[in-house]
Each structure stands twice: as C-alpha cells, then as structure tokens.
Amino acid sequence: MFYTSTRDKSVKVTAAEAITNGISAEGGLYVPCEIPEIDRGFIEKLATLDYIGRAKEILSLYLTDFTESELDYCVNGAYKAGKFDCEAVAPTVELENGVSILELWHGPTCAFKDMALQLLPYLLTTSAKKTADGKQIVILVATSGDTGKAALEGFKDVENTNVLVFYPNDGVSAMQKLQMCTQEGNNVAVCAIKGNFDDAQTSVKSIFTSAEVKAKLAAENMMFSSANSINWGRLVPQIVYYFSTYCDLLNQRKIELGEKINIVVPTGNFGNILAAYYAREMGLPIKKLICASNANNVLTEFIESGFYNKDRDFYTTVSPSMDILVSSNLERLLFHLSGENDAFVKNCMEGLFEDGHYTVDKSVYEKIRGVFEGGCCDDTATKNTIGDIFSRFHYLCDTHTAVAVQVYYNYLEKTGDDTPCVIASTASPYKFSPAVLEAVGSKDAVGDDGFKMMQTLEALTGVKIPAPLAAIQNKPVRFDKVAARSEMTDVVLDMLGIQH
Ligand SMILES: *Cc1c(COP(=O)(O)O)cnc(C)c1O
C-alpha cells in the first residue's frame, strides 16, 4: 500500500514515510492510493476480538510496510490494560432504543484525541527508524484544546522526540489550559498564542514547511513531524473504532450483520468524521455520516450548498474544540470525491487561501450529498440538550457530544430516518464543567474554582470525576508563556536550543 498527496499525484511514499513526514512537501496531505476493501467475514471475525485485536486487523490493511511484530508492539503499547479506564477502550452504550453513544474519552486526557495519540508515538518512532535514521523528531502541534494535551501525554519522555504545543490564549477551556500547562516530561513545551485556533494552525503549517527553519533543524540532525490530524498516523487509528462500535452493536444484538447504521460526529477539523468515511468506503455498512457543528457552521453550509466560505464571524463557544473555520481534513475528502483530481484540490485550497472560499462542482457536490448530512446548533441549544439528555436518560454528556446529539434529533425529526444510529462522544463532561454544570441546573456554582465545580457536578449527577482530571489539582504550572504569531518560530528554535 502506498500513499500519495492530495495536491500532487506523482508523489508515492510508504506509510512509514507518510507518518514521519506528516505533510507532503508541496503542502498536500497524504492519502492512501487505494482504500482497502473488506467483506462480511472480516467484520464477523473482528466481532470476536478485543479492541487491540480489532486495531491490529485494521491497521495491518493500511500499514503494510510494518511487520507483524512492529504492529503488535505499537498496538499493545497504546491500548494495553490500564491506559484507558475501561476494558473495552471505546465502549458503545445505549442512550435509547436505536440510539447508541460511542464513548471515545476513556484515555488519559479524557478526550477522543487519546484514541489516536496514544498510538501515534509508537507509529512515529517505528516509522522514523525505517525512514529517518537517528534523527530527532520535533512534533509541532496547533491545538483547539484537546489535541495539545493528548499529544503531550502521548509523547512525554518518548526517546528521540520533542513536542511543542501552541494553543489560542482565549480559545480553550480553563481545564484544558490547566491540563497542558501542568504537563510533566523532559521533552515537552507549551506556549499560548495571541490569536484563534486557525491562526495557530496556519502559523504552525508555515513553520513546518519553511525551508529556512527546516534547514536549521537539519543542521542539528532534527526534523519536524506533526501530531495534528493532518498526519495519516492520526487518522488511521480512528478508523478502528467505527469498526469496533459496529461489532459491539452486533454483539449486543442491536443490529444484524450487514445492516446499515448512521453515524453522527461532532466535527471541527474533519478528522474524526473522515475516519468514518474511510470505514464506509472500506465496506463497513454505514448509510449516512452526519456532520455536527456548533455556531461555527462553515461545514453545515458547505454540505448543504457546496460552497466553502471561511470569511465569516468566528465564535468562541462552549464546545471550543470545534471552533474552527478551516477544516484541514476536508482536503482529503475532496481528493477522493473528485476522482483523485489533484489539480482540482490544489485549486480549491489556493482559492481558500487567497479568497477565503471555494465552490465544488456539481458532481462532487452530489457525491457529498449522497454520504453526508450536516447540521449545527448554538450554545443555548447545546446546554439545553445536556440538561434534557440528563433528565430523560440520566446520561451526562459534554458540550461537543451534546452538539452531535442535538443535530441527530433534529435530523431524525426532519427526515424520519430511524436507522440505528451511533453518536460519537468526544470528551468527558468534566473537561467542560462550567457549561455542563449550568446545563444540569446548578447555575449558582458556575464561577467557582474549577475543581470545586467538578465536585459539585459529581455530587449532583453521581457521575465520577475521571482520575487524571482530579489529579491536576496538585500539579504545579510549568508553562505560562504567551507569544504573538510573529514570535512562534523563535519559540520553536528556543525550545530546541538552536541559535537564531
Ligand atoms: C478535536 C475534537 C473534536 C473535533 O474533531 P475533529 O477530528 O477535529 O473534527 C470534537 N470534540 C472534541 C472534544 C475534540 O477534542
């Protein structure tokens, strides 16, 4: 299996090269040249395996240049007992008849990013051994809150790596900020930037592709790689849990083998839902992929009209990990849906960069409509949903998951499509205590100290605070730097001890 670039089809690299490089030299994203197909027997077999076994089966279809023992080492290391606070790793629980929740936040940082970022360091160091002999890998991350912490936790003290995280100073929750700024480990650094997530992501991308900075690193035997969802090594682990949830539904006798399901994903950078698209293309029986957005509804408009327009107001919402106007992974979808038309993708991305918008042609638009539905909801609806779902089902969900739940019920009402449905739940409610607390009716406690709010929420709901979040209370803040966008390159070089 080889990988090519969304912006230049003459590119041909192995999985290890794609993962080590992170992004293709001309700025395109790596995509598999062919999407592997599976049959019913494959799903039947998966259903008999545990999460580690399922992950190995799926990954071996994509990472064909990894040996079996390398894959074993990677997958066992990432998902071994004790890393996730529940044996199933990513359990599927019923909300009501026909509606299940796929809980992706049982890892060490309590957000779905752990599903991939516990595995990525293994994939990356194994890849680098094959392709980048002996080079120190420098991971640059732009985060809307959860990726940063998950990357820090995944890479801390991993030999031959450094990880440096940039987050928007006013764009993450207090708990997310605290999680990052108290990070332990000898190869990590964290820096706030003045700007929003898109600013952070754009700047990181430009540092990443700057010939000048790359040369400075090369002189020190270092190279950049990426832990953002533009890295194929982030996406491929996410395909696994869509297969896994299907198997769980089979084992719970909620569906028959071959029966189609709908999947709803709270979406920001389009990574999580794109993984579901790959699963669908591989042959997992999925009818519709429902893309849920908050007030930053650039994707809702795109799915409805084929017009992508980032020139719009940017909202800071109670679901900050979805406060994104440039959804990077959409580029991969455009490549696949346009019949792998690299010139078309390049054109769209240039349009986005130069004019802030692009429109896809009719054939691509119709293909999008065949697979995707889009919907959005604002903060008020998000909080109402949290309260409503808690009082009806005694299920406590976080703000991002609530967006997906709300969008699903709107879709159901609009279309009457009651296909069995799985809603991806992307974070623990305790990562966003103020909004969740307000939603379940304890307005007075909002504004208390963050840990006090978690305790109030626990007392009120009986849902336990995840141990990693409770433990932060006793950790010192290690990182408090705030930089302008123009200073980011210097921050990178300083962290690595490179003269400039
Ligand atoms: C990152 C994140 C999302 C968005 O996922 P994408 O892959 O960027 O679409 C949604 N919810 C939470 C809690 C997240 O951390």
pLDDT at 266: 98
pLDDT band of 450, cuts 50, 70, 90 = confident
Q: How many CB atoms lie within 10 A of CB 493?
A: 17
Q: Which atom of ligand 1 is nearest to the CA of 272?
A: 7
Q: From CA 66, how far away is CA 370, in angstroms rounded?
A: 35
pLDDT band of 201, cuts 50, 70, 90 = confident
% of the chain exceeding 90 in pLDDT? 88
Distance from the alpha carbon of residue 233 to the mean position of ligand 1, in angstroms:
16
- Domain annotation for the chain: domains and CATH numbers: 87-108+233-432 (3.40.50.1100)
Distance from the alpha carbon of residue 351 to the mean position of ligand 1, in angstroms:
25
pLDDT at 155: 95
Residue nearest to atom 8 of ligand 1 (CA): 269
Distance from the alpha carbon of residue 500 to the mean position of ligand 1, in angstroms:
35
Q: Which of 54-63, 90-99, 128-137, 229-238 has the lowest mean pLDDT?
A: 128-137
Whether 237 has a pLDDT exceeding 80, the answer reads yes
Taking residues 349-378, what's their average pLDDT? 96
At 346, list the tokens.
């390049």
Residue the block writes with tokens 């680098």: 128
Whether 393 has a pLDDT exceeding 90, the answer reads yes
Whether 23 has a pLDDT exceeding 90, the answer reads no
Distance from the alpha carbon of residue 238 to the mean position of ligand 1, in angstroms:
12
Whether 454 has a pLDDT exceeding 80, the answer reads yes
Distance from the alpha carbon of residue 419 to the mean position of ligand 1, in angstroms:
24
Instruction: Give the residues across from 96 on adjacent strands.
Output: 99
Residue nearest to atom 15 of ligand 1 (CA): 146
Taking residues 310-332, what's their average pLDDT? 93
Residue nearest to atom 2 of ligand 1 (CA): 321
pLDDT band of 430, cuts 50, 70, 90 = very high
Collect all residues with Cβ–Cβ distance below 8 Å to 336 and sequence separation of at least 6.
31, 35, 277, 281
pLDDT at 146: 87
Distance from the alpha carbon of residue 234 to the mean position of ligand 1, in angstroms:
12
pLDDT at 226: 84
pLDDT at 303: 98
At 291, list the tokens.
């893309």
Q: From CA 384, how far away is CA 397, in angstroms rounded?
A: 12
pLDDT band of 422, cuts 50, 70, 90 = very high
Taking residues 412-432, what's their average pLDDT? 97
pLDDT at 423: 98
pLDDT at 392: 97
Whether 132 has a pLDDT exceeding 80, the answer reads no
- Among 106, 197, 272, residue to substitute to test ligand 1 (most atoms within 8 Å of Cβ): 272
Catalytic residue among 56, 80, 113, 129: 113
Q: Which atom of ligand 1 is nearest to the CA of 229?
A: 7
Residue nearest to atom 1 of ligand 1 (CA): 321
Distance from the alpha carbon of residue 329 to the mean position of ligand 1, in angstroms:
12
pLDDT band of 443, cuts 50, 70, 90 = confident
Whether 419 has a pLDDT exceeding 80, the answer reads yes
Instruction: Give the residues across from 191 on adjacent strands.
Output: 166
pLDDT band of 285, cuts 50, 70, 90 = very high
Collect all residues with Cβ–Cβ distance below 8 Å to 215 and sequence separation of at least 6.
none
At 446, list the tokens.
């909002």
* Helix-then-strand count for the chain, H and E: 22, 16
- Among 400, 405, 430, 432, residue to substitute to test ligand 1 (most atoms within 8 Å of Cβ): 400
Q: Which atom of ligand 1 is nearest to the CA of 431?
A: 13
Q: Which of 25-29, 93-97, 103-107 has the lowest mean pLDDT?
A: 25-29
Whether 119 has a pLDDT exceeding 90, the answer reads yes
pLDDT at 92: 98
pLDDT at 48: 98
- Among 110, 153, 230, 267, residue to substitute to test ligand 1 (most atoms within 8 Å of Cβ): 267
Pocket (CB within 6 angstroms of ligand 1):
111-113, 146, 229, 266-272, 321-322, 400, 426-427
pLDDT band of 172, cuts 50, 70, 90 = confident
Residue nearest to atom 14 of ligand 1 (CA): 321
Q: Is 113 a catalytic residue?
A: yes
Collect all residues with Cβ–Cβ distance below 8 Å to 335 and sequence separation of at least 6.
6, 29, 31, 341, 342, 345
Q: Which atom of ligand 1 is nearest to the CA of 105?
A: 13
pLDDT at 441: 82
Instruction: Give the residues across from 119 on adjacent strands.
Output: none
- Among 318, 322, 372, residue to substitute to test ligand 1 (most atoms within 8 Å of Cβ): 322
Distance from the alpha carbon of residue 322 to the mean position of ligand 1, in angstroms:
6
Looking at every residue in the chain, the average pLDDT score rounds to 95
pLDDT at 242: 98
Q: Which long-range contacts (CB under 8 A, 24 or more apart) does 463-469 make?
A: 463/396, 463/429, 465/430, 466/85, 466/110, 466/428, 466/430, 467/85, 468/108, 468/109, 468/110, 469/110, 469/175, 469/179, 469/428, 469/430, 469/431
Q: Which atom of ligand 1 is nearest to the CA of 275?
A: 7
Whether 133 has a pLDDT exceeding 80, the answer reads no
- Torsion over CA of 297, 300, 302 and 304, rounded to 10 degrees? -150
pLDDT at 447: 78
From 132, 188, 163, 158, select the one nearest 478 (Cα to Cα). 188
Q: Which atom of ligand 1 is nearest to the CA of 324?
A: 8
